[in-house]
């Protein structure tokens, strides 16, 4: 991921890197001027040195400004690019894959990991400028004395080896921390989603705080502390080597040479000048490593997400003449219990204007069959045949545009996402009034004024969305379960027949046996298999005109 981002913005990165290198070079040139002034014999005219010093200082400042601004731009650009990339991959992923991976991992990739990768572009100039200064100082040192330069190379070699060993160990711990952090995000979600349960049971709250959330926080803390400490230890090791090197040079390498004071001043200056950038370099490297770990994590998550086939054109709802499920099946494997739930093979066909009820006990596979039907799951065997043509990976997204569905864990977006127009608002508000919600919520500029409603009311709003979508096939997964008896009656006796009269095909997953006799067709499921298909003798008389007004 990091490599991809670097490749993608290579021109800007090259410009920023050049500016950083220029800034580092100017800093080293400043050092040569300082040393020249310090070692100039008394009475020398230093005005030329002063001019050069001023010019290098200004150049160093301008180059640093340019590199910082460019790298900030790169960092923000990389962050935005990553967020766009991950969001696009999440939207393009197969629904089943997304279910398996789970929200917390995706949230972690979108927030923490992308921020850390973007951070790389901020720490990169520090690495580059400091590396150039250290390198420049070494070259200057080689010019002053090649023996000292060789000693420096030896010390740096030793330092790098120690750093590399520490680095390998640290990366392992940081990787473990980032995996545990995915679980931590899951616990954070429970903290909010499970707020009611946690408040009602103090013992569970305590155990959750201590053994679940607390444990996970502690594991992340330990692994991060360990990993980052290893980096800090290697920085201290590097520091020690620098001082050991200074000692080696000052007390052993520079013997009784003529002009000793001048040479010593030169070295001392180089050392002092080099220590801070070297420390900066060693400190910036761990941030770059964290970015690498996060980049690898993003890669892993996006790889797991995979990608489904072709995407449908926007607003490309196909027509429905006939739809047949031919021996389709799906399996869930439960790792914990090593057990397998098998749905199907299912043989079923649907015709326009037909109302089918799907009934059965909890866990019998009704929702899973609905997910297969609407194309959210790819059948593991068999085929879905729409208007005589089998649906394949390339056409599945187009096929899905046939349906509007309200699953029991539906999500209500605060906007319709159908564009905005006064006509759409008026149409939506008329439906809201029909569903008796006009005093609670309105549609303004294509967005609902509030979503702070009861679950049953939010489901009615979801129904408004479905009506506005006007798709040929509607799926309601226990839609009426949250409605009061009066509205339940309206749903089964008035809304469904009205949809039928409009030629819609409807699949209703239901536990409301009081209304089963109203179905055109009643399918019973047991343990993943269809065990009976009835056609209740007398379907309820079809209501031709909408009588929703009676609800208001």
Ligand X SMILES: Nc1ncnc2c1ncn2[C@@H]1O[C@H](COP(=O)(O)OP(=O)(O)OP(=O)(O)O)[C@@H](O)[C@H]1O
Report the interface residues with ligand X, using CB under 6 A.
99, 332, 341, 360, 362-368
When the beta carbons of 69 and 533 are compared against ligand X, the nearer one is 533
Helix (H, G, I), strand (E, B) or coil at 471: coil
Q: What is the closest distance, in whole angstroms, from the C-beta atom of residue 191 to ligand X in the complex?
A: 22
Element (H, E) at 460: helix 455-469
When the beta carbons of 226 and 332 are compared against ligand X, the nearer one is 332
Query: Any idea what the Cα angle at residue 379 is, between residues 377 and 384, rounded to 5°?
Result: 105
Query: Any idea what the Cα angle at residue 397 is, between residues 391 and 399, rounded to 5°?
Result: 50
Distances (CA, A) of 505 to 400, 488, 518: 14, 20, 15
Q: What is the closest distance, in whole angstroms, from the C-beta atom of residue 344 to ligand X in the complex?
A: 11
Strands (E) in 351-472, as ranges, are 355-360, 381-386, 389-390, 403-406, 443-444, 447-448
When the beta carbons of 488 and 500 are compared against ligand X, the nearer one is 488
Distances (CA, A) of 472 to 208, 342, 493, 507: 46, 29, 20, 11
Q: What is the closest distance, in whole angstroms, from the C-beta atom of residue 102 to ligand X in the complex?
A: 10
Q: What is the closest distance, in whole angstroms, from the C-beta atom of residue 483 to ligand X in the complex?
A: 17
Chain CA centroid to CA 356, Å: 38
Q: What is the closest distance, in whole angstroms, from the C-beta atom of residue 528 to ligand X in the complex?
A: 7
| DSSP bridge partners of 350 | 323
When the beta carbons of 188 and 332 are compared against ligand X, the nearer one is 332
| DSSP bridge partners of 507 | 356, 475
* C-beta of residue 101 within 8 angstroms of C-beta of residue 306: no
When the beta carbons of 164 and 331 are compared against ligand X, the nearer one is 331
Q: What is the closest distance, in whole angstroms, from the C-beta atom of residue 368 to ligand X in the complex?
A: 3
Q: What is the closest distance, in whole angstroms, from the C-beta atom of residue 99 to ligand X in the complex?
A: 5
When the beta carbons of 47 and 362 are compared against ligand X, the nearer one is 362
When the beta carbons of 469 and 478 are compared against ligand X, the nearer one is 478
Helix (H, G, I), strand (E, B) or coil at 546: coil
């Amino acid at each position: 991921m990091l490599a991809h981002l670097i490749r993608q913005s290579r021109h800007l990165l090259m410009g920023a890197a050049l500016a950083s290198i220029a800034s580092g070079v100017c800093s080293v040139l400043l050092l040569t001027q300082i040393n020249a002034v310090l070692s100039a014999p008394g009475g020398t005219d230093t005005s030329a040195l002063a001019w050069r010093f001023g010019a290098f200082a200004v150049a160093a400042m301008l180059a640093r400004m340019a590199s910082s601004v460019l790298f900030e731009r790169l960092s923000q650009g990389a962050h935005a690019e990553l967020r766009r990339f991950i969001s696009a991959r999440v939207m393009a992923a197969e629904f089943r894959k997304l279910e398996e991976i789970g929200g917390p991992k995706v949230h972690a990739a979108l927030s923490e990991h992308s921020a850390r990768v973007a951070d790389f572009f901020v720490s990169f100039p520090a690495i580059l400028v400091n590396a150039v200064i250290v390198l420049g100082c070494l070259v200057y040192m080689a010019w002053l004395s090649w023996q000292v330069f060789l000693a420096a190379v030896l010390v740096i070699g030793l330092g790098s080896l120690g750093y590399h060993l520490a680095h390998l160990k640290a990366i392992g711990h940081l990787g473990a921390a980032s995996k545990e952090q995915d679980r931590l995000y899951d616990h954070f979600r429970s903290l909010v989603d499970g707020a009611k349960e946690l408040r009602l049971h103090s013992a569970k709250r305590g155990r959750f705080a201590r053994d679940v959330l607390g444990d996970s926080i502690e594991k992340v803390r330990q692994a991060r502390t360990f990993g980052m400490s290893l980096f800090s230890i290697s920085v201290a090791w590097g520091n020690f080597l620098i001082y050991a090197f200074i000692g080696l040079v000052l007390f052993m390498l520079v013997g009784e040479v003529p002009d000793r004071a001048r040479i010593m001043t030169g070295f001392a200056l180089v050392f002092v000048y080099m220590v801070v950038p070297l420390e900066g370099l060693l400190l910036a490297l761990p941030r770059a490593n964290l970015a690498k770990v996060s980049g690898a994590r993003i890669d892993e998550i996006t790889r797991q997400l995979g990608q489904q086939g072709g995407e449908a054109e926007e607003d490309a709802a196909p027509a429905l003449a006939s739809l047949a499920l031919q021996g389709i099946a799906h399996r869930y494997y439960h790792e914990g219990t090593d057990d397998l739930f098998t749905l199907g093979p299912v043989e079923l066909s649907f015709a326009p204007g037909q109302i089918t009820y799907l009934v059965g006990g909890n866990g019998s596979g009704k929702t899973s069959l609905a997910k297969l039907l609407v194309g959210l799951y790819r059948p593991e065997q068999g085929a879905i045949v729409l208007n005589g043509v089998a649906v394949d990976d390339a056409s599945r997204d187009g096929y899905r545009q046939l349906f509007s569905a309200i699953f029991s864990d539906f999500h209500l977006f605060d906007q319709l996402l159908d564009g905005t127009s006064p006509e759409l608002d008026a149409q939506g508000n008329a439906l809201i009034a029909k569903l008796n919600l006009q005093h609670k919520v309105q549609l303004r500029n294509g967005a609902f004024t509030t979503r702070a409603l009861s679950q049953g009311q939010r489901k009615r709003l979801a129904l408004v969305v479905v009506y506005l979508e006007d798709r040929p096939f509607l799926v309601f997964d226990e839609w009426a379960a949250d409605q009061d008896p009066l509205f339940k009656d309206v749903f089964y006796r008035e809304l469904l027949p009205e949809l039928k009269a409009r030629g819609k095909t409807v699949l209703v997953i239901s536990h409301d046996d009081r209304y089963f006799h109203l179905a055109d067709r009643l399918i019973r499921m047991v343990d993943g298999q269809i065990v009976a298909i009835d056609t209740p003798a007398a379907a309820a008389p079809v209501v031709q005109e909408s009588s929703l007004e009676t609800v208001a």
